Amino acid sequence: MRHEDSDNSGTPGVGRSADHHMWEVYGLYSARAQAFRDESGRALALITVRDGDRVISRSSEASAFRKCAWMDFFPRDHEPPTLIFNVLNPRLRFNGNSSIGTVEFYPGSEVFRRIQDTDPADVELLNRLGAEWDEGSGFIPYVPPPRSHVLILRRIPVSELPASNIYEDMEPFMKADWAEAVAIALRAGRREDLPEGLPRVLADAAGCLYYDPMGLIRLPGEEVRWMNGQHRGEAMRRQGVVETLVQETRTIGAPPLPGDIQRII
């Protein structure tokens, strides 16, 4: 990777100064990165996120992408570059009408604020400076290793839940009628089929069993342990609830258990 060109006076050159097809951020994430400088001296980093790049969520990684682009492509600048994402991965979206979004940060900070559609004038500017919008010929898609674990939706007796490590106030968790919430969730079978018109507390309790499910980790030779939801599990114990709904993480070859409903992943 080369740093941007400059003239004999040290003034950064205008145009595209870098095009890295397999750019990495802290060895964790990958993308195609292009760096630009316009006639006013403004620095721009165009990050193309492809299907096969190692990226989890543009929002949470935006600060890391900008910081690395600044260090790698504009090390002499006193301000970070404008960060623009070109999203080619169909599974990634932001709240905009196009696939090209400019990242905004709170002034003077590295805290992500939002991603919004890039100003058409900036898209035109990038095109004039030589931007390319495809994957890049040097793209090597990431191939994840074979899956070793599965996630199972299961109906389980509350008596089989592991002990809870209580570190939050239990009062909010005790407000719901968990026996009724579980019964409603089980009858519905999925979040989209939960009945309308339920009291707010009951609706939230039934819904959370799907959108924020209680989770257990069940691995060979180890005690079953909580991954999520132990305060709700404790509330169910105290209320005498008989059974509940959980998602269990198991090894891919683990035998089925009573109450298994379906494999999620």
**What are 111's two structure tokens?**
């805290």
Distance CA 207, CA 204 (A): 5
C-beta separation of 15 from 129 below 8 A: yes
Residue 237: CB partners within 8 Å, gap ≥ 6? 158, 161, 164
pLDDT tens track of the chain, all 265 residues? 444 555 444 456 899 999 999 999 988 889 999 999 999 999 999 999 999 998 755 565 788 999 999 999 999 999 999 999 999 998 887 777 789 999 999 888 888 888 999 999 999 999 999 999 999 999 999 887 888 999 999 999 999 999 999 998 999 999 999 999 999 999 999 989 999 999 999 999 999 999 899 999 999 999 999 999 999 999 999 999 999 999 999 999 999 999 999 998 7
What is the residue extent of each domain of the chain?
Answer: 15-129, 149-264
In this prediction the pTM is 0.57
Backbone angles phi, psi at 20, to 5 degrees: -110, 115
**What amino acid is encoded at 244 in this protein?**
T
Q: Domain 149-264 is in which class?
A: alpha beta
Give CA angle at 114 (111, 120), nearest 5°. 130
